[in-house]
Amino acid sequence: MADLKVLSEAVIKGDQKTAVEITRQAIGEGMAPAMILNDGLIAGMNVIGVRFKANQVYIPEVLIAARAMKMAMEVLEPKLVEAGVKPLGKALIGTVQGDLHDIGKNLVAMMLKGAGFEVLDIGVDVSPEKFVAKVKECHPQLVGLSALLTTTMSAMEKVIHALKDAGVPVKIMIGGAPVTQAYADKIGASGYAADAASAVDLAKSLLN
Ligand code: B1M
């Protein structure tokens, strides 16, 4: 019988092989896909989130855990779709125009996925026009903007204005090394998160 505690542990350790094996076994035994997701995969990523916030694990461990989760999710995803399991919400995320840094943005995207969000990652150097077009096309409830350069932070404000002008009802979360809560308040973002684990907490609270 597939043990979801072992599955969580495999995610925490970043053990891709075991994570995929137990996921396959659980599906084969007819376990509910939502249970495999919540009590196995997300439970493991939640532990990583808490440890990351407490500086008990660092970026490499988070990336390795997220990769194990991703491999297992590839096996589980078709079953979740079949079972009609709804994600927590849909988030669209990108690094703003002029900025090519994506390691932090990718980490935030992975942690959001790990927490049960559907995430559309539209990459780096994304113009305000592209954000608006993608929001109109994909209808996310949440848009995440990342910037790593003091020179590209102002592009966040342009995206916020463009989304407001387009009249699309989305929450906007911002982050990145030079960004602060004060800056988020100044440019009218819905919220700011300092790291990937806080971004998950913020995303959940913004969509509540
Ligand atoms: Co660049 N770079 N870089 N760089 N780079 C910095 C940011 C810099 C601080 C280095 C320095 O000078 N000390 C500096 C910026 C200075 C400033 O603006 N004040 C800088 C510079 C100047 C540049 C170039 C201009 C250099 C040049 O060409 N002269 C150039 C710009 C290119 C461009 O973007 N147009 C450039 C290029 C690059 C590389 C391509 C070589 C590479 C990027 C590779 C890549 O991303 N694929 C790179 C790197 C790696 C860095 C450093 C070393 C590391 C950044 C990183 O990945 N950190 C960085 C120095 C540093 O930070 N120590 C530096 C790890 C990552 C996990 O953290 O991205 O902060 P971070 O993400 C965190 C949080 O910020 C938060 O959560 C993440 C996880 O905890 N977060 C969010 C991030 N996005 C979020 C979104 C959210 C919520 C939270 O909601 C949506």
The tokens 């539209």 sit on which residue? 122
Task: Band the pLDDT of 51: cuts 50, 70, 90.
Answer: very high
**Could you state, in order of their start, the residue ranges of all structural domains in the chain?**
4-82, 90-207
Fold of 4-82: 1.10.1240
Pocket probe for ligand 1: among 148, 180, 183, 205, the residue whose CB has the most ligand atoms within 8 Å is 148
Instruction: Report whether 113 contacts 119 (CB < 8 A).
Output: yes
Nearest CA to ligand 1 atom 72: 104
Domains 4-82 and 90-207 share a fold: no
48 lines ligand 1 (CB under 6 A): no
105 lines ligand 1 (CB under 6 A): yes
Lowest-confidence region among 17-26, 32-41, 53-62, 105-114:
105-114
124 lines ligand 1 (CB under 6 A): no
CATH among 3.30.9.10, 3.40.50.280, 3.30.470.30, 3.30.1330.10 for 90-207: 3.40.50.280
Q: What is the pTM of this model?
A: 0.88
Instruction: Report whether 191 contacts 173 (CB < 8 A).
Output: yes
Nearest CA to ligand 1 atom 63: 177
Nearest CA to ligand 1 atom 17: 149
In the chain, what is the straight-line distance between the N-terminal and C-terminal CA atoms, in Å?
36
To the nearest 10°, report the CA torsion of 120, 125, 129, 134: -10
